[in-house]
Every structure is written in structure tokens, then in C-alpha cells.
Amino acid sequence: MTMSNTEKVIREQIATQPILLYMKGTPEAPECGFSGATVAALKKTGIPFSYVNVLANPFIRERLPAISKWPTFPQLFVQGELIGGCDIVLGMEADGSLLPLLQGAGKAA
């Protein structure tokens, strides 16, 4: 079985970016409420993160759920692992576990 180019791109993005958010829109102009809420939580930590606008990359938008086993966007990956979507990120922000996770990823970069 060969990997599609899109799958290679996704796997490379996930492997090379310590903190990566697949979202609808951009951090400056989120195009859905869930992406906006996730970006707000990430920005509160002050830790830089990379992002991919899945609306501008329809092949990634179509392929990523099969790779991550997560059906919706946004999707946050930290050090190559799927953390989850908006509800999980906001829950981690609320319980105080988001910042240490991101700090650890930032140091590993």
C-alpha cells in the first residue's frame, strides 16, 4: 500500500511541528467558532504554535480524519500526538493541563 502525497504531507507536518493546529481559517481570522475558541486557548498560553487552514487545503481536510481517527476540526497535535479538538483543549485549559503540555513541547523543539 502506498501513501498518497497528501498523507505524506500530513505526516511530515505532524512530525516536524511541535505544536500544530489543523483549523478552519487562520489564528487571526478563524472561520468557525470551535477553531476560534481553540486558538484563544492556545494564545492564552503565550506559546507559539503552527497551524494549517484546512479550508485552504481541501485535500488535507478530506484526508486528515482518516489518519488521526478524529472526525472534526480543529485538531491539535503536540509532539506528533493528537490531543483532540475544541472541547478537549478547553477542558485542558480549564484544568490547568494545557500550559504544561505546550511548554514541554516548546522545549523539545
Listed residue (81, 108, 102) closest to 38, CA to CA: 102
Residue 23 lies in a domain: yes
Residue 103 lies in a domain: no
Instruction: Write down the pLDDT at residue 4.
Output: 86
The number of domains in the chain is: 1
Residue 1 pLDDT > 70: no
Residue 59 lies in a domain: yes
Alpha-carbon distance 2 to 79, whole Å? 25
Three-class DSSP category at 25:
strand
| pLDDT tier, 109 (very low <50, low <70, confident <90, very high otherwise) | very low
Q: State the Cα angle at 35 between 106 and 18, rounded to 5°.
A: 20
Residue 40 lies in a domain: yes
What CATH code is carried by the domain that includes residue 38?
3.40.30.10
Mean pLDDT of the chain: 95
User: For the chain, what is the total number of helices (H) and then of strands (E)?
Assistant: 5, 4
Question: Could you tell me the residue range of the domain that residue 85 belongs to?
Answer: 5-96
Taking residues 79-98, report their average pLDDT. 98
Residue 56 lies in a domain: yes
Three-class DSSP category at 59:
helix
